[in-house]
Each structure stands twice: as structure tokens, then as C-alpha cells.
Amino acid sequence: MSAADDRAVVRTLVSLKLRLLRNGLRRSPGRAAGFLVGTSLGLLFGVSAAVGMVALRGHAGAADAAAVLTAGLAVSWAALPLFFFAGDESADPTRLTMLPLRPRALLRGTLLGSLVGPGPLVGLLLLLGTAAAGGQGAASAVVAVLAVPLTLLLLIALTRSVAAANARLLSSRRGKDFAIFGGLLFALLIQLGNLGMQSGFQDPKGLDLSVLHPYAAVVRWIPPVSAIDAVRSAGEGAYLVAALQLALAGGLLAVLLRWWLRSLQDLMVSGDASTLVETSSVHSGTGSRFWRLLPAGRAGTVAQRHLRYTWREPRAKVALFTGIGMTCVIAALSVVQGWSSVYVIAIGALMLGLQSGNLFGMDGSGFWMVAATLSTRRDARDELRGRVFAVLLSGVAVLLLVGPVLAAVTGKWAELAPALGLALAALGTGVGLGCVTSVYAPYAVPADGNPMRSAAPGQNGVVMLNAFGSMFGVTLGCAPLGITLGVLLISHSPVWPVLPAGVLYGAGMVLLGVRIASGGLIKRLPEILTRVIER
């Protein structure tokens, strides 16, 4: 293959990225609208952040803020392929390993193709803002002309090399599981960092950026931050320091490109371990004993199937661990920010109850097998009971675990019983209402390999209606118990009876929801099948 052929490959890969972007927008009006809205919000964020950084110019600590922001941008770009790898077809080099391409041509084409899209444009805006914040004078402007493109290339090479090095893992089921847990952990770390920044910036005299200096003093020598900080060094007259910082960034770029090239070479010549057939299967006796605890008959079988699918299906794990993660995060925030109360587990119960808002969405075209077995209202009732039992199993366990821990941390043990009663009532109301919405407002959950997408194109409106309608319905449905608790608190009466009352109230709402939904399920089987099949 000649150099001319390599250039043709590069042009083809760049045009392929453009075609993928265009065809994705043509797929459906819903996807096009989502892309336009997301791009507009991203550009608005990028412009706002850049303007904010420019406004800091001349302020003490502006260069420190620029260094910390660039470091955060680098960490985000490095983590991006680990959590959203399947959302970008061009990020998966294994799709091109069967083609007669040379790794160097593939690398150059992918690198240039990565510059296409709203993500690099937003990154460029942020980098321009950080360079302007820390620079001063003509020397800074000259260095910025080199530093900003170099930093952008470094970010792209970083995210692509990480994706190529972990391509086999990230395209497997274990990789998707890692994305779920890692994404929740990453979101938690971001929230903790946000709390730390808020505590550091609480200065009644005005904006105080001195809290960033210790962090900036370390990260300004770490590429790609060093390239942006070279703008500040040049403005202060430290030309040798600026040259050294640019050289560090250039050296890291060379290392990343070499790592990326080696990963592409390995992918093109090595076999895919995911195609190997498992030769043995071990069944745990402990698991067998656990399944015996489920109800007998069809309801128990359905519950077991639902629990197995939840453990094996990345999309179901997203829903489950998002609810658990949100419950834990809200509880932690209540303690850190000083408004701690055991009653916040009721908000977690609302999040956990939303898991039942679309019980048939992940079945997809496989729902026809379920529909074929539903001939009577009793069959429909047992189907719903089994799925509801699986949702309640995890929800009740989380509430019984988080509630006592929160009471121990806050020391408000007197709130534990009424808080659990209110939370269990909210969970039961959410599950019961979820049965109804699953029958009358179902939607398809995409099976395209990206566990972060919650709905098929064109059904986002149904998702929003389902979620916000459920929140409003749970709040309204739990109002009688909430009013009763308020009256008891105002009159200084014992509030422990709210616990058994909440258990009975929640159980009654679950049974009522199952009863209402079972009649509609028999009548609406064709409509549900049509809605849950992704188009």
C-alpha cells in the first residue's frame, strides 16, 4: 500500500465519520432533535465557561483556575470511553480490524475524524478560555497558538488510545458492567469535588481562588495542563519554562500515539477471546437455596427470570444501580450539607420505585413469548406479581440498609420508624403505579450496546411523561400517610405507628396497582408489543 493509498484511507475515514453523523441524524426526528438540543446545550456551556474564564483574566488565581479546569477536562476525556464507549461507533477500532488497513493510516484517519463533531468544538472553546485567562501580552498569544491545538490533540489522543487499549473489554458484557459501576463512582466523585469547591469558595468578601493554588502547583507540570500553563509562563517572561512545558506535552502526545498504534496493531493480529465458548458452568448451591425463597408457581418463576435478567443485562443494571446510587448520594449529601434527616430515604424510595415504571420495555421483541402465555387475567396478575416481587426485593433491602445507617450517622433514631414507614409506603405506591404505567405507557429501551440510553428514538416524550407522572403520582398517592405523619408530629404524639401503617399502605397500593394493570395487560398485549419493539 503506497503513501497515496494511505492518504485515501485517511480521507475515507474522515468522510466516514461525517456520514455516520449525518445518517444518525436521519434515523429519526427524535434523534435529530436530541442531537440538536444536546449540541446547543454543549455549545452554550462551552461559550459560557470560556466567557467566564476570560472574565477572570487579571484576577489573582486566574491561571490556577485555568490549570485546574484543564486537568478536569483531561480526566473527563480519559474517562469518556470507559463509560460511553458503545455510544460512538467510530470509537470502536474492532469494527475495522477485518479491513486491509495499515495501522498508521487507521490512526491518522481516526485522529482527524475525531476532530469532527460537537465534542471537540466544546473542548476547543474551553481551552481557548483557559488560555486567555492565564495569558498576558504578545508572548502568551504566540504560545497559545501552539498550546491550544496541541492540548486538543492530546485530549483526543488520550481518549482514543484508552478506547483502543480497552476495546475488547469495553465491547464485552463485563466492560458494560464496569461502565455502569464506574459511571456511578465517577458521578459520585464529581459531586464530592463539587462540595469541596463550594466549601472553598464560601468567602463573603468575594471570589477567592486561592484554594486552587495547591492543586494548580502540582497539575501545571502534568501534560496536557502543562501546555496551557505555558501560556502563563510566557506571559511572565519565563520562556525556558514555557518551552519545557510545551515539550512535556509534545512528549506525552508522542507516547500516546505510540500506545495507540501498538493497540491497533494488537487488535488487528490477535483473536477475540469473547468468541470462545465457555466449557464449564458452575452452579452455586447458595444460589439454589436463594431461589427456593421465591413464591411458588408462575410468580416465583417470573421473579427469578427478572432477577437473572437484571444481573446479566447492562440496561437493567443501569436502572437498578442508578436508583441505589441516587439513594446513597442523597443520604450522603444530607449529612455533608447539614440538612440531614432520616426522612430523606423516602426520596430514595421514590427513585427505587421508578424501576417498575416500564416493566416490559427491556423485553423488546421477546415480549411476544410472554404475551403468548397470557390467556387469563390470573396469568397476567401472576406475571406482574413476579416482576413486582423482584423490584421490591432490592428496594426494601436498600431502604432497610440505608435507613439505620443514616439514623446512626445523624443520631436521630427516633425518626427511623416513621421514616421507614413513609419510605415503604412511597416504594409500594411507586411500584403499584409503575404496573399501571407499564401497561398504559410502555416504551422501548434500546439494545444497541449503549446502556446509557434510556429510550428508543422518538419515545423520549413518553419517558419524560412516565417519569414525571410517576413522581407526581407517588407524591399524591402518599399524601394521606404524609398528612397523618405531619399531624402526629405537630401534636407531639408517638410516630412509631407510621411504620406498620406504611407497610400496610404500601402493600395495599401494590396490590391495587397489580389488580388494575392485570386487566389492561390482557387487553393491550398487541399495543404493548408494538411499543416495546425498537424501531
Q: What would the DSSP string read from start to end of 65-121?
A: HHHHHHHHHHHHHHHHHHHHGGG-GGG-GGGGTTS---HHHHHHHHHHHTTSSHHHH
> Among candidates 511, 506, 441, 466, which has minimal Cα distance to 299?
511
Q: 329 with 263, same domain?
A: no
CA angle in degrees (0–180, nearest 5) for 332-334-340 = 120
| pLDDT of the residue at 240 | 93
Which pLDDT belongs to residue 503?
A: 94
Question: Which residues in 310-429 belong to E strands, given as ranges?
Answer: none
**One domain for residues 395 and 259:** no
Q: How far is CA 310 from CA 187, 359, 447, in A?
A: 22, 11, 14
CB contact set of 360 (below 8 Å; sequence gap of 6+): 367, 370, 438, 442, 528, 532
Q: Has residue 69 been placed in a domain?
A: yes
Identify the three-state secondary structure at position 336: helix
Residues 375 and 258 in one domain: no
- Same structural domain for residues 425 and 522? yes
Residues 181 and 325 in one domain: no
Q: Is 367 a member of any domain?
A: yes
Q: How far, in Å, CA of 426 to CA of 348, rounded? A: 9
Q: Cβ(298)–Cβ(382) under 8 Å?
A: yes
Domain extent, residue 437, equals 297-532
Nearest to 67 by CA among 193, 195, 233, 189: 233
CB-count burial class (<10 Å; 0-12, 13-18, 19+) for 420: buried
Say if 463 falls within a structural domain.
yes
Q: Considering only CA atoms, which of 463, 473, 461 is closest in space to residue 436?
A: 473
Residues 326 and 366 in one domain: yes
Q: What is the pLDDT of residue 31?
A: 64
- 88 falls within a domain: yes
**Residues in the chain with pLDDT values less than 70:** 1-3, 5-6, 24-25, 27-28, 30-31, 34, 80-100, 166-210, 268-290, 314-315, 318, 336-338, 446-466, 534-535
Res 41: pLDDT: 83
Q: In this predicted structure, what is the pLDDT of residue 418?
A: 93
- Whole-number Å distance between alpha carbons of 179 and 353: 23
Helix (H, G, I), strand (E, B) or coil at 444: coil
Asked whether the CA dihedral 463, 468, 471, 475 is positive or negative, the reply is negative
Distance between CA atoms of residues 424 and 503, nearest Å: 6
Q: Is residue 279 part of a domain?
A: no
State the Cα–Cα distance between residues 358 and 349, nearest whole angstrom.
Answer: 17
Three-class SS state of 340: coil
* Secondary structure class of 259 (helix, strand, coil): helix
Q: Say yes or no: 526 and 383 in one domain.
A: yes
Residue 348 C-alpha from the chain's centroid: 18
Residue in the block written with cell 498569544 = 141
Examine residue 275 and state whether it is found in any structural domain, yes or no. no
- Identify whether 232 is part of a domain: yes
Grid coordinates representing 169 are 473489554
Out of 267, 286, 312, a domain closes at: 267
Spatial separation of the C-alpha atoms in residues 87 and 448, rounded to whole Å:
8
Per-residue model confidence (pLDDT) at position 160:
83
Q: Are residues 317 and 260 in the same domain?
A: no
Residue 311 in grid coordinates: 444481573
Cell of 131: 488560555
The total number of structural domains in the chain stands at 2
Report the sign of the C-alpha dihedral through residues 107, 108, 111, 114, in that order. Answer: negative
Examine the domain organization and report whether 201 and 321 are in the same domain: no
| Max CA separation in the chain (angstroms) | 87
DSSP three-state, residue 410: helix
Closest CA to 425 of 522, 310, 508: 508
Whether the CA torsion 493, 494, 497, 498 is positive or negative: it is positive
Q: Is residue 307 part of a domain?
A: yes
Are residues 330 and 416 located together in one domain of the fold?
yes
- Whether 250 and 320 share a structural domain: no
Distance CA(331)–CA(326), nearest Å, equals 8
The rounded distance, in Å, linking the Cα atoms of 236 and 137 is 9
Does residue 355 sit in the same domain as residue 257?
no
